[in-house]
Every structure is written in structure tokens, then in C-alpha cells.
Amino acid sequence: MEKKNQIQKIKKKNNQLLLSKLDLLVKGQESNSNKLEIIGNNLRKGFIGLALRNEELLKSNDQLKKQLHDVLKELNAIKQEREEKAARREKWANRKRLPKRNPINSKIYNLLIK
């Protein structure tokens, strides 16, 4: 009987040990679960922040595209003006110069044109 009591005591101690270990395991799991929940919340907040920042950057990019378009439009207008000026200068420089007319030649010239 004494051995039976000892065996029961040992079984009881083993059960208590097992229960305490299981209790520790459950507490650890709860702690991990809480930490994971905190991490999940932080990740969600981070992704929301990134999405908002991405939206800002897209708007900014659109504004910069519009500004670039306007600047290129102005630049092309300036280039065209310069090209037209250069063409006028070249035309002016290459024009055939007519001899100076004296009053008699002018009258004859005007009569011929009519």
C-alpha cells in the first residue's frame, strides 16, 4: 500500500508539474498573441500611412507633369520665335538690294508697274 501511495504522490506531482508547465505555455501563447496583435496594428497603421503618402506623391507628380508641360510649351514658343527672327534676319541679309533710284527712274519705274 505504501508503494501505491508513493506512486499516487508521484503521479500527483507529475500532474501538478504538467499543469504548471501547461499554464506557463498558455501564458506564453497569450503574451505572444498580444504582441502579434500589437505588431499587426502597427503594420496596419504603417500601410495606411504609406497609402496616404503614396496618394500625396501621385498628386504631386501630376502637378509637376502639368508644370513641365507648361514650361515645355513656353520653351517651344520661345524657340519658334527665335527661329522666326533668325529666318527674318537671314531673309533681310540675303535680299537683293535695288540700286538707289533717282527721281526720273522712279517715275519710269512707277509707270512700268502700272
Task: Report the distance separating Cα 41 and Cα 98, nearest Å.
Answer: 89
Sign of torsion, CA 77 83 89 91?
A: negative
pLDDT greater than 60 at residue 101:
no
Q: What percent of the chain has pLDDT over 70?
A: 83
Distances (CA, A) of 10 to 3, 16, 25: 10, 10, 22
Task: Report the distance separating Cα 27 and Cα 80, nearest Å.
Answer: 78
Domain that holds residue 14: 2-113
CB burial of 39-54 (b: ≥16 within 10 Å; e: otherwise) equals eeeeeeeeeeeeeeee
Higher-pLDDT residue of 114, 48: 48
pLDDT greater than 70 at residue 106:
no
Task: Report the distance separating Cα 114 and Cα 106, nearest Å.
Answer: 12
Calculate the average pLDDT of the chain: 87
3-state secondary structure of 89: helix
pLDDT greater than 90 at residue 54:
yes
Stretch 30-46: mean pLDDT: 95
**Worst-scoring range by mean pLDDT, 5-19, 23-37, 48-62, 95-109?**
95-109
Stretch 88-94: mean pLDDT: 83
The total number of structural domains that make up the chain? 1
Residue given cell 504522490 in the structure block: 9
